[in-house]
Structure 1
Amino acid sequence: MHPDFDQRALAGLDVRSTPAADLPRYANTYDAAGARTQFLLSEGEPLALVPHLRPGETPDAVLYAPAYHEFRRAPLRFRESLTGVALQGTLRSVTADQRVIPHPEPLRAASRFVRPGWVAFFSDEDTPAPEALARHLASQKVLAILTRGHNGATLFELDGTAQHWPALPATPVDPTGAGDCFASAFMVRLAETDDLATAMRFALAAGALAVEHSGIAGLPTREAIEARMNREAA
């Protein structure tokens, strides 16, 4: 972690990190409509996915979230764990001036990082034909969740059906990281309940809270997520 990182943000978490000299870094700007322009400042060094597990430990849920192409090998399989992949980094490419653009071969890029029975997350800004990618993943027995910013999210199930969920009302301040927050919340709640609808509602509340503050200040607590859900249900 960066030496300037405020370690208080990790209070109560069991963090087992792997040292790295350089990680992928971006410069983001947003226009009045919320559209993002992104430049890759550093690709980062190749990372090996080494689980820091104690003997007998099996995670309830695993979420891979590469920021760019730092994972050069396909993710490890945890046979007894709910496993998800946030694909936004995998679906990125860059121009000669390092401006981030969608990967020219999204099906190939995504297929390297998903396995049947896993959950895949990406946004409608990550690739030119997001619904086509989602339906392809679902046909490969991957549960695909397409996030759409203030328009909510669409769940593409393994039987070929799709269900859209509207976003919860929010006052956006900084959308950076909201997708990762959504994915993390979804995985946690799905591992707890094994219910897709419950997990979607929980994740949408987490995403709404995440955009209302800048940086890690937007990371919501469980209590805040449940309070937002209850407020919207009232």
Structure 2
Amino acid sequence: MSIAENIALVRANIEAACREAGRLPEEITLVGASKMNDAAACREAVAAGIDVLGENRVQEMTAKLAEHAYDGVPLHFIGHLQRNKVKQVVGKAALIQSVGSLELLEEIEKTAAARQLCQDILLEINIGQEAAKSGFAPSQAEAAAQRALACGHVRVRGVMTIPPADAEREENMRYFQEVRALYVDINAKLFHNELKCLSMGMSGDYMDAIRCGATMVRVGTAIFGARHYNI
């Protein structure tokens, strides 16, 4: 199947999940996770009506920006971001979805201030509290949001999460529900219910994420096909 056909199928699945949850498909932003796919594939996704393209790797993002791969849609950075690469992303990505430490938050604030711009971000929640994964523990999320609110050049738009890869479906659903509850709580307490972005769900579980309240899903393999990693 072509990228356009895959996007159409994902859209149909989004509509089905929304019907089950009593929601509107228009509530869901579809991010095409284009890691390891070339500029031509990105352009094909744009032509097929993808809402957003998301990159995981700074070097790949920079190369494809030079090729105008993302022209026509917003670009999000959705992967782990190292502090020493923040300068390459701030002001280039419309949204940095993976802000999972105070140190990274401060570096983004510093860079955005130097460039006299405001960088939109999501706070990444390490819902499974995995030692090898970045992100704020659920108990740290409110304090992180408060710190972000004190920044003059960063704007929180919501939260993002990636449940443990080995979680069973029932456990995965519970993780999604926990993050949604956390999002709703922080939104009410600190943001006057103005946050709109709950980014959770990928190729294997985006329908369940929508059933649990996601407003943004990050879909790679189901749109672009299987990735082939060099071993």
Give the TM-score normalised by the residue count of structure 1: 0.40
Quick one: higher RCO (CA 8 Å, sep 6+), 1 or 2? 2
* Structure richer in helix, relative to its length: 2
TM-score (norm 2): 0.40
